[in-house]
Structure 1
Amino acid sequence: MQTVLISIHLIVVLGLIAVVLLQRSEGGLGLGGGGSGGVAGFMTGRGQANALTRATAILAALFFTTSMALAIMSHRGAAPRSILEGTATGQPATQPNAGNLLDTLRGQSGGAAQPGTPAEVPATQPAQPAVPQAPQSR
């Protein structure tokens, strides 16, 4: 539905641009032509001004309507959510204090620390990274 509304909105925008550019400008020569070019043979004087003014008003109303509809549809799709909803892993709770965020993070990292007890430190030291071998010039 939103894609159809965006397509209609774009067509209305292009039509509105075309109608505004076809209108006669007050001070100079617009695309409608101040005298010799453009759509001079299409309609003359008063009839052209009334038709373009009416078309501009209709397209402006359609533009406003589609803009408001798109804004409402966008607002409904973006419901407020809690930042903690995305952290659920979908695993069943096995600990009594499974709602505690710190315990959840410890469980994900592989630590088996119980609530209230300090985390165990591994007995072995991590291996030192190897020194990178740089090519030697000879």
Structure 2
Amino acid sequence: MQTVLVVIHLMIVLALVGVVLLQRSEGGGLGIGGGSGFMTARGAANTLTRATAILAVGFFATSMALSLLARYQEQPINILDRLPTTEQGQSGGAGVLDQLGGSSETPEVPAQPAQPQVPSGQ
């Protein structure tokens, strides 16, 4: 259901972008500028305005439907809820990262660098 709604939403978005780009602007728009076409400038403006309004309503409707589906679908899983807890309600061990796993070896302490020797007697 959600995938179908996303596809419809994307088609509405692409159509809305196309209709908005076709509308007449001060520069004449993308093809509805001047000259004689099958529609007058006034008729084209009314048609494009109506199409923009219909697509905008469809965009808002699909947006609301997608947000409602996301809200009432299966809840996401929090990784911190899956950690074992002690009787006191706190995580046992040093911290969350220690409980998630990984290497149990202790890190080696790096060797101390040698001190530079300064020649004396000068």
- TM range, smaller chain: 0.5 to 0.7
Q: 1:44–1:105: structure 2 CA closer, same or farther, 3 Å change rule?
A: same
Residue 27 of structure 2: aligned partner: 28
Q: 1:18–1:60: structure 2 CA closer, same or farther, 3 Å change rule?
A: same
Q: Is 1:67 aligned to residue 66 of structure 2?
A: no
Distance in 2, Cα, partners of 1:84 & 1:54: 50
Structure number with the bigger relative contact order (C-alpha 8 A, sep ≥ 6) is 2
Which residue identity lines up with residue 29 of structure 2 in the other structure?
G
Distance in 1, Cα, partners of 2:20 & 2:58: 15
Q: Is 1:14 aligned to residue 14 of structure 2?
A: yes
Give deviations 1:113-132, integer Å, cap 9, x for gaps.
xxxxxxxxxxxxx9xx7xxx
Question: TM-score, normalized by length of structure 1?
Answer: 0.55
* Structure 2: gaps spanning 5 or more residues: 94-98, 100-104, 109-122
Q: How far did residue 86 of structure 1 move?
A: 1.4
Distance in 1, Cα, partners of 2:7 & 2:71: 19
* Structure 1: gaps spanning 5 or more residues: 89-97, 110-125, 130-138
Distance in 1, Cα, partners of 2:83 & 2:88: 9
Distance in 2, Cα, partners of 1:67 & 1:103: 40
The share of aligned pairs that are identical, in percent, is 53
Report the secondary structure of 2:17's partner residue. helix
Whether the 8 Å CA contact 2:83–2:91 is kept in 1: the answer is: no
